[in-house]
A and B are shown apart, each in its own frame.
Chain A
Amino acid sequence: MGLEHYLSIFTKAVFIENIVLAYFLGLCSFLAISKKIDASVGIGMAVVVVLTITAPINWYLWEFLLKDGALSWIHPNLSEVNLDFLKLIVFISVIAAMVQLVEIFMEKFSQSLYNSLGIFLPLIAVNCSILGGSLFMVEREYLLSETIVYGFGSGVGFLLAIVALASVRYRLRYSNIPPRLRGVAMAMLLTGLLSMAFMAFSGIDL
């Protein structure tokens, strides 16, 4: 499979099947944090980092531990063992642990990065886009290389969507919105419009 294949997975994950605007994942933090532009850039970067790391790790666990017959590399007798019912628990523990690890690493090696991203990391453990990335990877039967590209692309898609929404909300601060439409309800309508705009990409065939 050539470069175009990976390029197409990446473009799909960023634009056509944007994880927020097409699959509704990670909306809680998407709505809560998009009030400020610099904070949304921060959480977007953190999502890119964590998704790119956790998706391949979960791929290894799925391929060599959880999948139907995955244990056969230990002993042929184990080839009938199917642990896939454990996937939710394993994936979420990996994500929670990785988020902690990334936080510790960041604090040790780059204080400035930690200061800007650190507070968002704990939030990300329960961001559905991270778990969703791993579950989609299983459902679509991606290879390892495809998983890395897909994880990174989904993260970039999240970053793009949250920064776009934050910018629109920033501009709307001076508009006269009906008082009870303000806040979340308005953000939902805006997200609807953004998602409509992103649907224009769906005609692109790669």
Chain B
Amino acid sequence: MELFNSESKKIISDPINVNNPISLQVLGICSALAVTIRVDQAIIMSLAVIFVLASSNVILSMIRNFIPNRVRIVIMLSVIASLVSVVDQLLQAYMYDMSKQLSVFVGLIITNCIVMGRAEAFALKHGPSKAFLDGIGNGLGYGMIIIIVSFFRELFGSGTITLPDGGAGYVLFSIPESWYAAGYENIGLLVLSPGAFIILGLVIWFQRELIGIEEEA
């Protein structure tokens, strides 16, 4: 199968745009909010999710014909849990500061409904190469939303934009001191949990407005 025909393109681009896992399928919101205080956390988290999602989709799709229907949830959970353990160990080994900041939320990728949801809805019904593209696409869709949310939360909440590096993060931009001297203040609420809920609510609204999708009630 060719990797770059129009169907494959659709598998990748749909979840980023018209079928976004967070804003339209409403999956995986738990971790989406907790790691959006800073942009670097959101980027690392998206990479972790893309890795887990793509590999679990490929593995489950390869063994899909051998999985008895009744025990599929347990099998999916164990495959996903092993992959997440790998990511967790890698982060602890190479990015210790980051793994401390993300704390339990890396482990919680296991129960991130996107991974289970895509395995159930796509990987168990399609071949490995398509499942791989679907995993990448949904991972990117997830990453896009959490990076947008974290951008607003960090910029207006703490007045900086931080990119990931090996240690405590590289500060790309920070609001100049003169602004603070002139009376500018960070919105402290955005760093706290209510800010995350409200920003994500607005982002979802905005995206649905762009695509033009409505929901009942």
Q: Taking beta carbons and an 8 Å cutoff, which residues of A are in contact with B?
A: 21-28, 31-32, 35, 85-89, 92-93, 96, 122, 125-128, 130-132, 135-136, 139, 173, 178-189, 191-193, 195-196, 199
Contacts and interface: CB of A to CB of B under 8 A. Distances in A.
**Interface residue SS majority, chain A:** helix
Contact of B33 (A24, A178, A180): A24
Contacts of B195: 192
A27 B200 CA distance: 13
Contacts of A179: 214
A183 B217 contact: yes
Interface string B158-198: 00000000000000000000000000000001001111111
Nearest to A29: B113
Contact of A188 (B113, B204, B213, B216): B204
28 contacts: A24-B31, A24-B33, A24-B34, A27-B33, A28-B26, A28-B29, A28-B30, A35-B217, A89-B81, A89-B82, A92-B78, A92-B110, A93-B81, A96-B74, A126-B77, A135-B104, A139-B103, A173-B217, A179-B214, A180-B208, A180-B212, A180-B214, A182-B214, A184-B204, A188-B197, A189-B197, A192-B201, A196-B194
Contacts of B89: 85
Interface residues of B, number: 50
A186 B30 contact: no
Given A26-B30, A192-B201, A96 B108 contact: no
A93 B77 contact: yes
Given A24-B32, A173-B217, A180-B213, 15 more contacts: A24-B33, A24-B196, A85-B85, A86-B85, A88-B84, A88-B88, A88-B110, A92-B78, A180-B205, A180-B212, A181-B208, A185-B202, A188-B201, A191-B197, A193-B194
A192 B31 contact: no
Given A180-B205, A188-B200, A88 B81 contact: yes
Contacts of B213: 180
A183 B201 CA distance: 10
A-B CB proximity, top 10 nearest: A188-B201, A183-B215, A192-B197, A192-B198, A135-B104, A189-B201, A24-B33, A196-B194, A128-B111, A185-B205
Given A93-B78, A173-B217, A31 B29 contact: yes
Given A22-B193, A27-B33, A126-B113, A180 B108 contact: no
A88 B77 contact: no
A88 B111 contact: no
Contacts of B205: 178, 180-181, 185
B11 interface: no
